[in-house]
């Protein structure tokens, strides 16, 4: 296979061509993809429309342990996989997946099945760049803070207790593979800083949330049917762009944790 990787933006994002994921790739190709992901944080493997759900699940499982969504209904027959529909207020907000878990998933795999004629792009922003852009005094302050994350009200309707979908995480994380520091709060799931009220937390959190929207930190992916996007959930936040005018949009997602080394 003639694997080709082309950088798409300054902060994150790369396009991968020359692969057919309907058959298992070699360990060498998998290692090259893993290295590209650590470098670019988001990789889009183009031309995978022929992949079946079984292919997508099998490919994702080679990266680590698959983590089904704790409360969103899966695709029938595929408990490992959920369907992403039209953009909505939750998915249009910068976030990381499952940040309310004690150990959120490391990677997400999203395959485009139905794409509108226009609109519905997905944007990514580097949490490394957010941290590196802050002044040294604020960086040091954030290293001493923790934030309270909680899942959406849908969790309770599925029978989960609040304790099942809430966790306190450091505001600054160090990536387990690269060692780089990054900011770890998001507007979807963080309710307040640990030990602070929501009102006390709001000014600082609002300032931090605004940083992910800085254009120089972002990559905007314009979907094609058959694109398989893999992103590092530990190092980027993502959001959908809600400009589809209600056109059909159907993407299939699998998330995984990486094995402990």
Q: CA-CA distance, 231 to 171, in Å (whole number)?
A: 20
Token readout for 243 is: 């400009």
- Per annotation, catalytic residue among 95, 169, 221, 252: 95
Q: Which DSSP string corresponds to 1-47?
A: ---EEEE-SSSS-EEEES--TTSPPPHHHHHHHHHHHHHHSEEEE--
Active site residue 4: no
Active site residue 46: no
Q: Collapse the DSSP code of 168 into the 3-class scheme (helix H, G, I; strand E, B; otherwise coil) and give the result.
A: strand
Counting every residue written for the chain, the total comes to 261
Q: CA-CA distance, 166 to 175, in Å (whole number)?
A: 21
> Which residues sit opposite 231 in a β-bridge?
42, 108
Q: CA-CA distance, 141 to 120, in Å (whole number)?
A: 37
Active site residue 97: yes
- Which of 249, 227, 223 shows the shortest CA–CA distance to 121? 223
Instruction: Classify residue 136 as exposed, middle or buried by CB count within 10 Å of its CB (0-12, 13-18, 19+).
Output: exposed
Task: Judge contact between 201 and 192, C-beta under 8 A.
Answer: yes
- Per annotation, catalytic residue among 40, 55, 69, 97: 97
Task: Judge contact between 66 and 259, C-beta under 8 A.
Answer: no
- Per annotation, catalytic residue among 69, 234, 238, 249: 238
Active site residue 40: no
Active-site residue numbers? Answer: 95, 97, 238, 253
């Amino acid at each position: 296979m003639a694997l080709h990787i082309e950088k798409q933006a300054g902060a994150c994002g790369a396009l991968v061509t020359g692969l057919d994921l309907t058959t298992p790739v070699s360990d060498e190709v998998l290692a090259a993809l893993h290295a590209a992901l650590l470098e670019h944080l988001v990789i889009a493997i183009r031309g995978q429309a022929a992949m079946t759900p079984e292919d997508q699940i099998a490919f994702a499982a080679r990266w680590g342990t698959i983590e089904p969504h704790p409360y969103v209904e899966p695709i029938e027959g595929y408990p490992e996989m959920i369907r992403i529909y039209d953009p909505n207020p939750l998915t249009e907000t910068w976030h990381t997946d499952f940040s309310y878990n004690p150990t959120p998933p490391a990677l997400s795999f999203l395959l485009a099945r139905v794409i509108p004629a226009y609109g519905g792009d997905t944007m990514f922003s580097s949490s490394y760049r957010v941290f590196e852009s802050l002044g040294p005094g604020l960086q040091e302050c954030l290293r001493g803070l923790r934030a309270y994350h909680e899942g959406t009200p849908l969790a309770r309707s599925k029978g989960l207790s609040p304790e099942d979908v809430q966790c306190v995480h450091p505001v600054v994380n160090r990536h387990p593979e690269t060692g780089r520091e990054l900011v770890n709060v998001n507007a979807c799931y963080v309710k307040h800083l640990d030990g602070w009220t929501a009102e006390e937390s709001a000014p600082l959190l609002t300032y931090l949330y605004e940083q992910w929207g800085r254009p120089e930190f972002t990559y905007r992916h314009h979907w094609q049917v058959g694109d398989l996007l893999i992103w590092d959930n530990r190092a980027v936040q993502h959001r959908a762009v809600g400009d589809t005018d209600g056109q059909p949009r159907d993407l299939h997602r699998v998330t995984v944790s990486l094995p402990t080394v």
